[in-house]
Structure formats: C-alpha cells, structure tokens
Chains A and B, each alone.
Chain A
Amino acid sequence: MTGLRVEAAGGSVLVQDLGRPGLAHLGVSASGALDRGAMALANRLVGNPDHAAGLEVVLGGFRAVADADVWIAVAGAWGPVRVAGRDAWPYRAHRVPAGASLELGTAVRGLRYALAVRGGVDEPPVLGSRSRDTLAGLGPEPVRAGRVLRVGAEPAASVPLLDEDAAWPPPTGPVTLSLLPGPRADWVTDAALRALYESPWRLSASADRVGARLDGPALGRRISVELPSEPTVVGGIQVTGAGVPTVLLADRPVTGGYPVVAIVEPASLDVLAQVRPGQGIRFRHGR
C-alpha cells in the first residue's frame, strides 16, 4: 500500500472529494471540494474518476513524500509546483519518484489548490464520502505535518496524454458571479436588491468552507421579523438583520434563519472558491 507522508501542511489541508449529497434531511450538508471543477480536473489528469478524493490545499506551504512512485496533478490555484526540487507545470500530470518530494509553494493566482493522486487518497469514507466537513466534524481529520495518507489502487484508466494546458488559472482581478433568484428576495428592499447586482463587493476576511461573507453596502431588510429556520442550498446568499450578505458554501448548516435573497450558480461557486479575501466580486443575473 502506497503512503504519502505529509512533511509540511502550511495552511489548511483537507481531504475532499465531490461530497455526500442527499443527506440534508439528516442534518448533513454535502461538503466536498469547494472548487469542484478543479478537483474533477486534477483527477482526470491522472486517470482517476472525478469523484476520487484529493487534497484541498489553501494557499500553499505544502510538502509531501511518497514511499513509491505516484502520479499527481495540481489544478485550481496557480502557483509554484516542484517535483523532486524541479519546477513542474500545474494542470499537468507528473510522476513523483519514490522518496522524492512534491511541493506546492505560495499560490500566485487563486486560493485553493486541488491536488489529485493517481489512485485517490484512500482515507476511510464516512457516509459514502471522504470529504472533511469542517462544520459537522465528519470525514478525515484535517491533514497536518507527519500524517501518512494512504493512496488507493491505480484506476483502470491510464494517465491521459495532454500537450496543452487543460484549463486557465484563476483571475487575480474582480470576478463576476451569476445569480439565480432566491426564495426570499422580497425580504430585502428593492434598493437592496439593486445594490446586490450593481455594487462592487469584496470577499471579507470572514470566509471559509461554511460561508463567504461579503463586504459592501448594507442590504436593507424590508421584512425584519424572524424567519423560522428553513432548508438552505449551497450558494444561497443569506442576509443578516444588519444587512450583511453571506454566500453559504459546501459545509454550511443545512437550515438557517436568515432570508436567502439569491443563489450563486454552481459554476460560479468554483470561481468563488478561488477568490481571496479583499478581491472584488460583482454579481449579474444568471440564465
């Protein structure tokens, strides 16, 4: 059994796959990689199925050594990737020889690296998924230096040959996210709803896998009574009594008592996953 020994974790390093959907009625949110497209892409680059578990590495500072040759690929955030001390392209598959190091330096663009290992990270699944749910405390423990992660058996599919970059690195400037109508759009004023679409926003420093708070104008509430808790969906933008919007993300609580006025489209959630605190965000109407 191949093992990947983590020698430095840097910031947050979590095992993530595409999550455990369909369990909200039992109080469990889907969790899973925040940048789902990146995790699926990294998996495809090494011949894994999309839902294989990889590592979600925030910002970098990560170093690991395998005890046997392994294929890896890095997608999502764009930054220095080094294999055995040599620079290696992101968004490409690389063979890491046994005993050689794999390093992810500080990301230059984007925030979350998706690191796939051919065979997948084989930590014990919980409720059908190897994703770490940071709010509920389900799934593999956060990865720290010294941890040895098991790598699963190689899949049948071979490592695909690519001679072009498979994707584009995340933007460093403002991003535009698409919104769908939310169930409680009428709980804020018309002016607030306009401000949501017309104002420039910034990702607050209070952003994690549970939710991403946005800095910008206060969104005035038209209805200020308490809303009985109702089921949430990923991407829902809830507005607090003080008018602060927060985008609910993969590890969100499954019910919430703040009105949800709009919903970020799934493809835009991948973009949001790579936005850094302070980076600009604009919203437009989706489909």
Chain B
Amino acid sequence: MSRPVRLLPSGPAALLVEVDGLGDVIALHDALAADAPTGLVELVPAARTLLVAVDPAVLPLETAAGWVRRVASEPVARSSGSADGRTPAPREVLVEVDYRGDDLADTADVLGVSPEHLVARHADAAWRVAFIGFAPGFAYLVADDWPFDVPRLDVARTRVPRGAIGLAAGFSGAYPRESPGGWRLVGRTGAALWDPDADPPALLAPGRTVRFRAVTP
C-alpha cells in the first residue's frame, strides 16, 4: 500500500500498527490477510490502528514486524482475498431492513434531508465492515458513497433492541443483541447477526461487504 506505518509495542505476542486513517487500516488489513504467514493468530482492525496478534513461538515479533513493513511498502496491486484458501475472499452480505426506526425522522431532520432520501442513500451505499467493537459482532460499517456525519443521541438508550440498524458519525452499524446504545436508529433487521454456531459467528465480519435492502413487512 506504500504508506507509512508506525509499529508500536503491545506485549509479548502482538504489535500495534498505526496508520493515517481508516482507509489505510482497511487497505493494510486486506493486504496482510492475503499474505498471512504461519503463526499469525489474528488481525484486529480498528479506527486508525490494526493489532497483529501472533504466536511468538512460531512467528517471532521481529519477523512479524518485517512482514508488516514489507506488505505495507508494496504497491496496492492485488485484490483482497487469496488463492490459497487461507483467507476467504470478502463476500457480499445482503441485509434486509425495515426502515421504520424510532430516530429516522429526527435524524433526517438533523441532516436536512427527507426520511425517504436518507433511507435511499443508506440502501444504495456499498458498505463494508471496517472493524468490530463495543460488543461481539457489532460491526462498524463504512461506505465511500455515504455522505453523512451523524451526531450520536444526546442521551444513550438503556435498551436498544436486537437487530436495530443505527447511525453514528460516518458509520452505520447493527446491534447483534439487545444492549444499551447511543446510535440513531433508522431501522431493524431480522438477520442473524450473531450466531455462535456459525463460522464466523459474526455475520458482519471485518472485510465483508454489505448491502441493505428495504423491505416492508
């Protein structure tokens, strides 16, 4: 990706890689996932950093650091996914949404658009799972064609229902189970967002692309 990376110490079995922003995290994540060496335990992307967790007995930290620097210095040539089957190519997930969220009208109002316009943009956008945080399977989705920066609720809800589709900052997300939450709710899905018996258990796993489709129940 030919972008500067900063490698920060993160204990005996991990490196924290800092880049300039979320776009670089995504590019580096995909490039590293496509070239995963033996001894890599997992890649954990976040907003501006990516954790490279290793089994140091198999992949020493120094070797892992060299691998990260080499991959980061390569031009963005290959597409994500790999031929050896280690890393499944991202697959598109279709999520059906009933766009009658409690905050839809207010949020559209805050953004100065109509509710119909907000729904159309959300359903048209090509989303991608940037990272997971907050709770198991809670995906932070980003899209190049999503123009809105949505303020969080002033007062977070103590109970957000499972399957709620929310907006916060430049992200969209879906609540895999009932929990507290401060995102603005625009809809709800019946999709199984979290299933411990599925592989992976998170429907919206990092790297996957996501489309929302409006349904009327």
Q: Is the CB of A26 within 8 A of B47?
A: no
Nearest CB in chain A to that of B133: its residue:
A255
Q: Is the CB of B44 within 8 A of A254?
A: yes
* A23 touching B51 in the complex, CB below 8 Å, given contacts A181-B9, A183-B10, A263-B11: no
Q: Tell me the count of chain A residues lying within 8 A, CB to CB, of chain B.
A: 32
Measuring CB to CB, which residues of chain B are less than 8 angstroms from any residue of chain A? 8-14, 16, 18, 41-51, 53, 131-138, 196, 200-202, 205-206
Q: Is the CB of B9 within 8 A of A27?
A: no
Q: Is the CB of B47 within 8 A of A27?
A: no
Chain A residues, CB < 8 A from B9: 180-183, 263
Chain B residues, CB < 8 A from A184: 8
Q: Is the CB of A228 within 8 A of B44?
A: no
In the complex, what's the smallest C-beta–C-beta distance from B195 to chain A, in angstroms?
A: 11
In the complex, what's the smallest C-beta–C-beta distance from A184 to chain B, in angstroms?
A: 8
* A26 touching B196 in the complex, CB below 8 Å, given contacts A180-B11, A229-B47: no
Bound: A27/B129 CA distance, A: 13
Chain B residues, CB < 8 A from A23: 42, 201
Chain B residues, CB < 8 A from A67: none
Chain A residues, CB < 8 A from B48: 228, 230
From the candidates B11, B132, B135, name the one contacting A233 in the complex (CB within 8 A): B11
In the complex, what's the smallest C-beta–C-beta distance from A262 to chain B, in angstroms?
A: 9
Measuring CB to CB, which residues of chain A are less than 8 angstroms from any residue of chain B? 21-28, 126-127, 136, 138, 180-184, 228-231, 233-236, 253-255, 260, 263, 265-266
Q: Is the CB of B46 within 8 A of A233?
A: no
Q: Is the CB of B136 within 8 A of A26?
A: yes
Bound: A21/B55 CA distance, A: 11
* A26 touching B201 in the complex, CB below 8 Å, given contacts A136-B136, A231-B49, A231-B51: yes
From the candidates A28, A138, A229, A231, name the one contacting B16 in the complex (CB within 8 A): A231
Bound: A25/B36 CA distance, A: 15
Nearest CB in chain A to that of B44: its residue:
A231
From the candidates A28, A138, A228, name the one contacting B46 in the complex (CB within 8 A): A228
Beyond A25-B43, A231-B46, 15 extra complex contacts between A and B, CB < 8 Å? A24-B51, A25-B205, A26-B136, A27-B136, A27-B202, A183-B9, A228-B49, A230-B46, A233-B51, A233-B53, A234-B11, A253-B134, A254-B44, A254-B132, A255-B134
In the complex, what's the smallest C-beta–C-beta distance from A273 to chain B, in angstroms?
A: 17
Bound: A255/B206 CA distance, A: 14
Q: Is the CB of B135 within 8 A of A136?
A: yes
Q: Is the CB of A228 within 8 A of B53?
A: no
Chain A residues, CB < 8 A from B18: 183
Chain B residues, CB < 8 A from A22: 41-42, 53
From the candidates B11, B49, B196, name the one contacting A127 in the complex (CB within 8 A): B196
In the complex, what's the smallest C-beta–C-beta distance from B37 to chain A, in angstroms?
A: 15
Chain A residues, CB < 8 A from B196: 126-127, 138
Nearest CB in chain A to that of B33: its residue:
A25
Bound: A189/B42 CA distance, A: 32
Bound: A126/B196 CA distance, A: 7
A-B contact list, 11 entries, CB within 8 Å: A26-B136, A138-B136, A180-B9, A183-B49, A229-B47, A230-B16, A231-B16, A233-B14, A253-B134, A255-B46, A255-B133
Most A CB within 10 A of own CB, among B10, B13, B45, B135: B10
Chain A residues, CB < 8 A from B14: 233
Q: Is the CB of B10 within 8 A of A182?
A: yes
In the complex, what's the smallest C-beta–C-beta distance from A222 to chain B, in angstroms?
A: 16
